Each structure stands twice: as C-alpha cells, then as structure tokens.
Amino acid sequence: MTTPTSAPRRSVTDEEIATFWRDGVVCLRDILPLDVVMAMADPIDRMLAADEAADLTAMADALESGAGATRLVDEGVAASGVARGTFRGGTDHWCVHPEFAEFATTSPVPTVVAALLRSKSVWLYEDSVLVKEPGTQERTGFHQDMAYFHLDGENVCTTWIPLDEVDYSTGAVVYVVGSHLDHTEYRPNMFVSDMQLPGTVGEAVPDYSMIDDAPIVSFETKPGDLVVHHARTIHGAGANASATRRRRAISIRYAGDGVVFHRRVGAPEKPHHAGLRDGDRLSTPAFPLAHG
C-alpha cells in the first residue's frame, strides 16, 4: 500500500489534548484522510479471508463449555432472530503485512498521537484488527489495555480507527471517564468472557455495565474520525445488533517519550520481544519508530 499522504486533515487542538489527559479518551472528528483509512479495507478483508484473525465467538463458546467461564453476550441480540455473526480479532499484523506496517508508521495516525502525548518520539507497540459482523452477540468485556502491554510509563495510548459508521447498536466502544488516573494493577481478561488470563496478577476489572451512574462515555463515529484513549483507561464494547452493518476497526497502540520495556507476568509474550529486559528503552526492530 502506498499511503497518499502522511498529514492529518487538521491539527489537534489544545482542547482535545486537555480532554485526552483529563478524561483518558478523546474523539477527534474528521482528522484522518478518507482515502488513507479506506485503503485498509482490502487488506483487512484479505486477512480475514486467510483466517489470520482469531474467532473470538468460537473462543467464547469454548471457554463457557470447557472452563466454566461466562460468555459476555447481549441477550437481546441473541433473542432477536438476527442471524448470528462472528467477532474476529488479531494482533501484530504489522509484523507480516507491509500494508499494516506502513499504515501504523507512515499514516497521519502517529503524528496525531505525538501531539496528544506531547511526545517528541512515538514508537509502534502493536496493531490489531477488530471486526464484529452483523448479528455478533458477543460483548467486549471491560478491560484495561496496559494490563496486556509489556511497557512501563505514562505516555502509552490506543487508537481506534473505524472503517464503518459505528453507533451503540453496532458495538461502539464505551469508556470509563477518568479511569486512567487510577493506578490499580488490573488483571487482563479474555475479552469475551469473565475469565481472567491464567497466571496474571492484580485486581479484576469491575463490570461497569452493572454499576449505576458509572462515568461512561461513547462516541458515534465514521471513517475519518479517530478515537484515542490512554492505555490505563478502562473500556468495553457492545454486541453488533444490526442485521446488515459491519463494525470494522483498526486499533493501533503506541508509546511515547519515557516509556520502557517491562514484562508483565502472565500477559501474552511477543516473539519479537525475545531478549529484551525490564528497563530497556524502546527501539527498532521490536518497536518501530513511527514519529520523531
């Protein structure tokens, strides 16, 4: 893929930067060029057709039947009569597909991230594709990204880039405002069940859907919008209740100035992190420089 432009459509405002650091999440409207975003539609579909993403719907079924875990499903969608869809997701596509590596490192996204983090340099940590087909019953459980990341530092964030118009009915992400200010060490979970990853340490992430008056915010988004949240911001997502509308998104995770490698007990290991030690500064090839 040849990226048509590396410049965002507009600058990040001071108000948007302040919102990110105050709330732990900000929605940047009309900031990414549409041609850059939609150029990733074919790579995503090719990746899905090649079965390179995990079937999280099948994983939820297997966990419930084999480990006694409770699947996180929307009962209304399950009972709606809409044909059941599939939730698929994968990580580190940049390692094997040049289109994903180029998008993560040379598109306008890292420039925007550098502004939000007030960071001179920005390194790629990982990318992810998250697709909820029409009728997907699975909810994405509340979780904190930092619990999965082998990183230590304040300047770590996750971007969420929609390739479809997304609203609450199709599985928009919901965020717990201000939760990034809580330094509790949380355990990572299995996303589509209430089961924590074996061998991890820390507290279980609360199910904010069961908490009255929880400070939750969500955004209706379209291609060209970009949502960025701090890596400690707790978030989840609903099912896709639509019978016809897909919910495709690319999520790219970045680290900025002052962040170092820190292995988290029980979190999934990455082959390209082999040989790294706690406290190592981020550098290529394990962490491609995306800005600076």
**206-224 residue pLDDT tens:** 999 889 899 999 999 999 9
Residue with tokens 């306008």: 108
Q: What is the mean pLDDT of the chain?
A: 95
Q: How many domains does the chain have?
A: 1
Counting residues of the chain whose pLDDT is more than 90, the rounded percentage is 92
pLDDT band at 65 (very low <50, low <70, confident <90, very high): confident
The answer to the question of residue 2 being in a domain is no
pLDDT band at 5 (very low <50, low <70, confident <90, very high): low
The answer to the question of residue 11 being in a domain is no
159: β partners: 228, 252
* CATH code for the domain of 130: 2.60.120.620
Q: Is the pLDDT of residue 2 over 90?
A: no
Exposure class string for 73-105: b at 16+ Cβ within 10 A, else e? bbeebeeeebeebbbbbbbbbbeebebbbbbbb
The answer to the question of residue 6 being in a domain is no
Three-state secondary structure call for residue 223: strand
The answer to the question of residue 221 being in a domain is yes
| Closest residue by Cα to residue 24 from 152, 182, 172 | 182
User: Which of 19-33, 161-175, 201-215 has the least mean pLDDT?
Assistant: 201-215
Torsional sign, CA 141, 143, 147, 153:
positive
| 55-83: average pLDDT | 90
The model's pLDDT over 244-274, given as tens digits with 9 standing for 90+, comes to: 999 999 999 999 999 999 999 999 999 999 9
The answer to the question of residue 191 being in a domain is yes
Torsional sign, CA 232, 109, 46, 241:
positive
The answer to the question of residue 257 being in a domain is yes
Q: Give dist(CA 144, CA 36) in Å, integer.
A: 28
Per-residue confidence (pLDDT) for residue 194, from 0 to 100: 87
> Does residue 54 contact residue 88 with C-beta atoms inside 8 Å?
yes
Per-residue confidence (pLDDT) for residue 1, from 0 to 100: 40
Q: Residue 229 has which token pair?
A: 């949240």
Domain housing 69: 16-266+277-291
